[in-house]
Structure 1
Amino acid sequence: MHQRTRVAVTGLGVRTPAGNDLKTFWSTLIDGRSTARTISSFDTTGLPVDFACQVLDFDPADYVTGRQARRMDRTTLLAVCAAADAIADAGPAGVVPERRAVVTGTGLAGNETTETALLGYETYGRPSALYVPKVMHNAAAAFISMEHRILGPSLTVSTACASGGHAIGEGLRLLRDGSADLVVAGGAEACVSATILLAFHRCGALSQRVSDPEGAARPFDAARDGFVLAEGAAFMVLERLDDAVRRGARVYAELSGYGRTSDAHHLTSPDPDGEGAERCVRQALADAGLSPEEVTHVNAHGSGTQLNDVTEARLIARLFGQVPVTSTKSIVGHAIGAAGAIEAVAGALTLHELLAHPTINLENQDPRCEIDVVRRPRPIAPGAVLSNSFAFGGHNASLVFTPADG
């Protein structure tokens, strides 16, 4: 590996449909339990799609006061809680506030607040005074920085479904360029609403399996018909590996590589040749100083849409042959701006446990997707784990995790 500041993942925190703590999250993934359910949080009468993957039993009371909660959109609440858990999981690092940083990713930010405000405007003729602070994309980063006295860079990335991946990658860059000694990085999204369901349905992105929600998310399956909308948040604490070892921190993995490219092809469809995505993966591997042969597992973007799955499967086959591939979205759905962060946490845990979780609902693999999709929990060899995120707008992000003792 070329000489470069080595960066460790020392803390993880989640709020996901698969669980609100790491143990539950991981066991749900390993057991391959679908989290798609009929929506009960609002009236879905008349909606063509009435199911999603939601964060259940979510109570932020242990993290924020009632007054604080009223000033936050659900996206921010999910982020604040997941980030707090990641920081607690990492343990005291002894980094002065000026050398701490936070990078958050979100695609839609204050969607819940916007929808409520539009309904309120029709009724009362005026929005809430808190509307702007609640819908700001940077609200999560701001609240996390205030809560944990983070006085260094406080940044927000918004690149649709690649936001979470980009946020973690940009956190890596902050450590490498000397801008911070500790970074809290991840993504959050709370977009399960009537407006977003209808919008994604109208553009043909959502699965229509209303009679079988648990079987709706089926990446790489010949009968796939779109993704299942989801919400959630996931964060990592990143610090220099030397610092982590010096303080005796547990290290889940080393974040070794980051790639970021654009397709510059179409606003919602991927480049059918996968050229931009492949450049992104190659860039991440080169950044890590690795060859494709050293990758032992791929956590795919694996959205379950027709074009994306074929494009990604072909680039995986070209670069890696029959490497084991997993799609976390088959279990937790597609959480848009949080998806890349949730999958990065899954990738780090996969490497830490040397065990890949299954891709569920794969009954008849699309012959155009000639890759080795993991269908039941499978041990993996020590090596590099790649996590891909590809987004509307042609934004691509790839992260490479390696064993910390490598």
Structure 2
Amino acid sequence: MIGYDEALVLIQREAKPLPVVSRTPVPGQVLAEPVHSGEDLPPFDNSAMDGFALRVGDAGAVAGGEFEVLGAQAAGDAQAVAQGGAWEIMTGARIPDGLDAVIPVEQVEVLARDGDGKPARIRLQADVPPGQHLRRHGEDVRKGDRFLAAGTRLDAPQLMLLAALGVPLVDVHATPRVALLNTGRELVDDPAQALGSGEIRNSNGPYLARRIEQAGGEVVLRQTVSDDAEAFFIAMEQARSAGAELVLSTGAVSMGRYDFIPDALRKLGATLHFHKVAIRPGKPLLFATLPNGALFFGLPGNPASSAVGLRFFVEPALRAMLGLAPERPLRLPLLGGYRKRHALRFHLKGHVALDGEGRLQARVLPGQESFRIAPLAHSNAWVVVDAAAGDLPDGALVDVYPPGHLLGLQLQGQG
């Protein structure tokens, strides 16, 4: 049995960044290279208001001034040149050359209209300082700027920025392909099927599949396998054929009669790096490298053990494959303290919330047994207590991790 830090070193040694590929930007990708802008954003000076564009110079214009309306500019209109006067203008419309400020429509009095009812002469009802209500070209992003750094995960804001700047392709690390194998003859996949005596529903499968996707991986094979080495060998060949770069199994890694996976991996020629880690839950966890270079993680079958194995062992491997630096936890005060009974590293279902003064604090939820699923649904964080730590008093600082390494904490006030 080895410690967590030693296990993490072995994982990071084996997990190599995947090749860099150019792809159309989609959510979840992680940039392998920074992105530089090929143009200004905004691409031209435009109006921030519906109103009238004017030329006011360095001195500005004062309330009471009158202007003839000599033109109009709507969003999408091409560049225009103004010969003085005022131009009616819409939000986002390009400022005509020669004009340098905008007064909102509600701050003008229309003195006359033309035959079509359009404003022909206006009077200012407020002062207009130089540059008022102008969006300058390049004010958001300038041409040549590095506007997204390597290691950035693409989500809605980044996709908005890439679209605004006309970036059709980005350099990203290839998405890790993952095979998920749930072992156990007792498992039932169909939620509509009635359970037989001794059977349970496969809850690890949907949980882990979703978490793998949230961690940046792609599930290329998901299969339930009986407690049988030959069935396991067939599933492993299917994983290889699917191009899996990481294989994840649940169950059959402890010391019981049906815990066949360690011996099966040896028969496949895999290199076992460790089997059993000084943690709770999930101590029997196994990590190996397959003959084709794919990584293999064997997680215990209890739900909380599988969840911990994915979050603190598999996700660091996926992080390395995506070219990301090792994760760093938050340090938060622990509400209510924690009594620690064993010299192991504990990964505890936790909840982070804001106290009455708006400060973050964490607490350990009841129901830490590894078979319990309901507390996972009520948690929004993992509270980690190091192996060397003893009992923790109220207010002690602890390491806190969000549910996934690419996910943030979802916070609310203490209820």
Q: Same fold (TM over 0.5)?
A: no
TM tier, shorter chain? Answer: under 0.3
Name the larger-Rg structure: 2
Q: Give 1 or 2: higher helix fraction.
A: 1
- Give the TM-score normalised by the residue count of structure 1: 0.26
Task: Give the number of the structure with larger relative contact order, counting CA–CA contacts within 8 Å between residues 6 or more apart.
Answer: 1
